[in-house]
């Protein structure tokens, strides 16, 4: 530890650019190794130590993260926001956070969970209050066309309340949220990449959702003390309507999810084939499974009426349990065995393999998708024949990314490393060629990495430029801020043979997963269209107070530096719906609307309309003011709400 302390002041004192590009990196690595109680000359430290010099030789290089003022990033990153229940938009390689898109949890900046429009997306109880105010997002994925991101949508899960949210990537907003029925612990999520049957549908139309926890079906208070009857399900949501399409009853549970490029297969890793209730039960078997779903057959079964429903849900549930799927010719599912509590499953960009990370086993398992289809076609006797490699890569493998050049990058949670390994070499090694060297490089990361993703990693356009790693622990990497540490997202240059650590970024917990894509994939609009909003007040002249008994509608508009009404009067006890349209059409001219003592605050972007409904229960004068700096007369931009006693 003393060694680490000596290194620190030096690295703080020098410029960050020099710090990353000089021997300070090697010095830090030594400190880290000491901190990890690993000898400084452990293979990993040796691999990552001397790489500072080659950094500049790569196209990325360490300097690439330092954009000059005004320079734009070349990639977008969409990060799941963890317990904040939002989605974060980053620019890469700089790592600058550009936006947070609220989804599942209220957000006071934009008024998410306060405006009527956002409440309608989030879901309300009978009394109009929000159904849920907490969430836990883990996994985020984008819509596909021809095997690459198409920039239409992204989806993100909420593990706590089993909800899926959709992000519109034209405006970078959440527009729909669906709660999955009869499941708990919704964790893995992945869009399909084309239709399994119709070749014309070469884009995402379904999103698959895996549920981690088994529960009584229906979960209505019966069978609570009979854990052997608990079951989990795999769900399919329609990408456009966001309605449930179908569910599959399974044995075991679902963890992460992957989809094939031909649309025929989806899969989920299972860490609990034991159906255990306590953790020691869940790790009692030596092998768990990667559970494959034959999408075309499942949808045929639904069409043929071979399903049941659970509880009050109308969603068709087909039977994907082992017992019901023994005959490959009719099977809807296939359980490929994978060693001990696997975690991530990822589809390689060459479209051939799913790679399962072993977690409690130090291995990666490579499953060849063509062989899984052979099994379904009755051409291969044992489905485990689809396993073409099972190789040791290090301790605690969790997730895998790809560079499009045949290499996989897997996080090793326990080793605090990323291991770069070659998939075809691993297959050769597994087939008996003990000279095949599949491990290409190892890099220490800081510390305990979970998710990992590379630029366009899980697409046919994987470009092998940058790799981001979500480290669960930051320990000594940042100034201390009390007991609650940030996490450490690290950016790595993978354009050369050796991985080069480029930057640390502290992040608020706990993002888990993310995707990174070229900036030309999306073309965001920066001014709304008035017609997007049914309630739009399209002309300042339409402003006014409109009474219908105790229900009062207040319509107003904003145009810097004034609201269209200088004052408006309602009566105590009125139910007031206030509709505000921002008629400023200049990019970046956002106003806000805050009402003292009424718990109202939201922002209103160019040509956007938002509404709020509240009971005017406090008489008096309330200066509703513009809360977003918009103009030299921003402070003067207000209106008086008068509530008559």
Question: Which residues of this protein are in contact with ligand K7E, per CB under 6 A?
Answer: 138-139, 187, 256, 343, 398-399, 450-451, 512-513
Which one, 164 or 626, has the nearer CB to ligand K7E?
Answer: 164
Q: Is 98 helix (H, G, I), strand (E, B) or coil?
A: strand
Tokens of 429: 């090694």
Q: Give the nearest distance from C-beta 637 to ligand CUA in angstroms.
A: 4
For residues 539 to 578, the per-residue mask of contacts with ligand CUA, x marking binding by CB under 6 A and - elsewhere, is ---------------------x------------------
Residue reference for tokens 């095997």? 147
Q: Which of 630, 638, 641, 643 touches ligand CUA by CB under 6 A?
A: 630
Region binding ligand CUA by CB under 6 A among candidate stretches 182-190, 222-230, 483-491, 623-631: 623-631
Stretch that binds ligand CUA, among 244-252, 453-461, 467-475, 621-629 (CB under 6 A): 621-629
Work out what residue 626 binds among Ca ion, ligand CUA, ligand K7E, none; the CB cut-off runs from 5 to 8 Å by kind: ligand CUA
In the list ligand K7E, Ca ion, ligand CUA, none, the entry touching 341 (Cβ below 5 to 8 angstroms by class) is: Ca ion
HEC string of 517-540 equals EEHHHCCCCCCCCHHHCCCCCCCH
Length in residues, the chain: 645
288 binds, among Ca ion, ligand K7E, ligand CUA, none (CB under 5 to 8 A by kind): Ca ion
- CB nearer to ligand K7E: give 339 or 397: 397
CB of 590 to ligand CUA, least distance (A): 8
Shortest Cβ 267–Ca ion spacing (Å): 17
Question: What is the β-pairing status of strands 487-493 and 333-339?
Answer: unpaired
Q: Report d(CA 42, CA 40) in Å as an integer.
A: 6
Residue 591 near ligand CUA by CB under 6 A: yes
Cβ neighbour number for residue 31 with a 10 Å cutoff: 22
Report how far Cα 121 is from the mean position of its chain's Cα atoms. 18
| Degrees to nearest 5, angle at CA 242 with 237 and 243 | 70
Scan residues 125-184 and list those touching Ca ion (CB under 5 A): none
Q: How far is the CB of 411 from ligand K7E (least distance, A)?
A: 8
Residue 591 binding result from ligand K7E, Ca ion, ligand CUA, none, given CB thresholds of 5 to 8 Å by partner type: ligand CUA
How far is it, in rounded angstroms, from Cα 505 to Cα 639? 42
| Distances from the Cα of 219 to the Cα of 10, 64, 216, 224, 311, angstroms | 58, 52, 5, 8, 8
Q: How far is the CB of 37 from ligand CUA (least distance, A)?
A: 55
Residue 138 binds which of Ca ion, ligand K7E, ligand CUA, none (CB < 5-8 A, kind-dependent): ligand K7E
Complex with ligand K7E: residue 231 or 399, whichever CB lies closer: 399
| Inter-residue contact 285 to 274 (CB < 8 Å) | yes
Residue written as tokens 């706990």?
510
CB neighbours (10 Å) of residue 607? 21
Cβ closest to ligand K7E, residue 139 vs residue 152: 139
Q: How far apart are CA 473 and CA 613, in angstroms?
A: 43
The closest alpha carbon to 495, from 95, 93, 147, 141, belongs to 93
- By beta-carbon proximity to ligand K7E, the closer residue of 139 and 465 is 139
CB of 557 to ligand CUA, least distance (A): 12
Q: Which of 80, 143, 257, 341 binds Ca ion (CB under 5 A)?
A: 341
The residue within the footprint of ligand CUA, chosen from 279, 546, 623, 629 (CB under 6 A), is 629
CB of 631 to ligand CUA, least distance (A): 6
Q: For residues 580 and 557, give the distance between their C-alpha atoms in angstroms, rounded to a whole number.
A: 5
For residue 548, give both structure tokens: 């219908």
* Closer by beta carbon to ligand CUA, 302 or else 630: 630
Beta carbon of residue 336, minimum distance to Ca ion (angstroms, whole number): 14
348 phi and psi angles, rounded to 5 deg: -75, 145
Nearest one of 223, 218, 347, 360 to 283, comparing CA atoms: 360
For residues 316 and 302, give the distance between their C-alpha atoms in angstroms, rounded to a whole number.
7
Choice between 567 and 575, CB closer to ligand CUA: 567
If 0-12 CB within 10 Å is exposed, 13-18 middle and 19+ buried, where does residue 379 land?
Answer: exposed
Do residues 371 and 391 touch, judged by C-beta distance below 8 A?
no
CB atoms within 10 A of CB 640: 13
Residues that bind Ca ion (CB under 5 A): 271, 282, 288, 341
Residues that bind ligand CUA (CB under 6 A): 560, 591, 626, 628-631, 634, 637
């Amino acid at each position: 530890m003393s060694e680490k302390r000596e290194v620190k002041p030096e690295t703080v004192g020098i410029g960050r650019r020099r710090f990353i590009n000089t021997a300070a990196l090697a010095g830090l690595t030594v400190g880290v190794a000491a901190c990890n109680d690993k000898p400084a000359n452990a293979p990993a430290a040796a691999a990552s130590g001397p790489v500072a010099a080659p950094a500049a030789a790569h196209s990325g290089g360490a300097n690439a993260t330092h954009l000059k003022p005004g320079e734009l990033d070349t990639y977008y990153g969409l990060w799941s926001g963890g317990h904040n229940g939002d989605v974060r938009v980053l620019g890469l390689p700089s790592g600058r956070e550009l936006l947070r898109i609220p989804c599942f949890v209220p957000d006071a900046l934009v008024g998410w969970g306060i405006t009527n429009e956002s409440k309608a997306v989030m879901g309300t109880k009978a009394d109009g209050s929000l159904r849920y105010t907490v969430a836990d997002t883990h996994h985020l994925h984008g819509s596909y066309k021809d095997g690459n991101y198409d920039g239409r949508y992204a989806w993100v899960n909420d593990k706590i309340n089993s909800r899926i949210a959709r992000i519109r990537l034209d405006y970078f907003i959440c527009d729909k949220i669906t709660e999955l029925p009869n499941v708990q612990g919704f964790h893995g999520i992945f869009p399909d990449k084309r239709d399994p049957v119709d070749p014309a549908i070469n884009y995402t139309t379904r999103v698959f959702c895996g549920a981690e926890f088994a529960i009584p079906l229906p979960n209505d208070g019966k069978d609570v003390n009979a854990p052997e009857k608990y079951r989990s399900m795999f769900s399919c949501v329609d990408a456009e309507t966001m309605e449930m399409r179908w569910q599959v009853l399974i044995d075991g549970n679902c963890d992460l999810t992957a989809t094939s490029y031909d649309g025929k297969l989806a899969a989920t890793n299972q860490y609990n084939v034991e159906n255990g209730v306590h953790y020691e039960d869940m790790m009692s078997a030596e092998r768990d499974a990667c559970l494959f779903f034959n999408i075309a057959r499942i949808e045929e079964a639904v069409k043929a009426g071979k399903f049941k429903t659970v509880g009050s849900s109308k969603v068709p549930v087909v039977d994907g349990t082992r017992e019901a799927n023994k005959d490959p010719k009719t099977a809807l599912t296939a359980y490929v065995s994978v060693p001990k509590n696997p975690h991530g499953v990822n589809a390689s960009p060459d479209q051939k393999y799913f790679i399962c990370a072993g977690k409690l086993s130090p291995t990666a398992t490579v499953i060849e998708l063509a062989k899984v289809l052979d099994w379904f076609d009755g051409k291969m006797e044992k489905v485990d024949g689809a396993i073409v490699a099972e190789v040791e890569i290090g301790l605690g493998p969790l997730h895998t990314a790809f560079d499009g050049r045949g290499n996989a990058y897997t996080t090793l949670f326990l080793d605090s490393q990323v291991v770069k390994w070659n998939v075809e070499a691993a297959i050769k090694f597994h087939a008996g060629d003990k000279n095949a060297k599949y491990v290409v490089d190892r890099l220490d990361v800081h510390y305990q990495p979970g998710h990992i993703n590379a630029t366009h990693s899980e697409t046919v356009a994987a470009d092998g430029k940058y790799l981001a790693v979500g480290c669960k622990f930051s320990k000594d990497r940042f100034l201390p801020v009390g007991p609650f540490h940030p996490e450490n997202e690290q950016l790595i240059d993978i354009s050369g043979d050796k991985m080069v650590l480029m930057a640390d970024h502290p992040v608020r917990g706990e993002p888990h997963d993310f995707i990174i894509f070229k900036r030309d994939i999306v073309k965001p609009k920066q001014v709304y269209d008035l017609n997007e909003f049914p309630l739009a007040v399209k002309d300042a002249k339409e402003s006014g107070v409109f009474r219908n008994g105790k229900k009062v509608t207040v319509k107003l508009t904003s145009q810097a530096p004034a609201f269209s009404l200088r004052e408006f009067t309602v009566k105590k006890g009125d139910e007031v719906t206030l509709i505000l349209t921002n008629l400023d059409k200049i990019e970046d001219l956002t106003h806000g609307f805050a009402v003292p003592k009424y718990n109202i605050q939201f922002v209103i972007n160019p040509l956007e309309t938002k509404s709020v409904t509240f009971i005017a229960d406090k008489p008096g004068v309330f200066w509703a003011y513009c809360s977003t700096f918009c103009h030299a007369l921003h402070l003067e931009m207000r209106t008086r709400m008068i509530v008559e006693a």
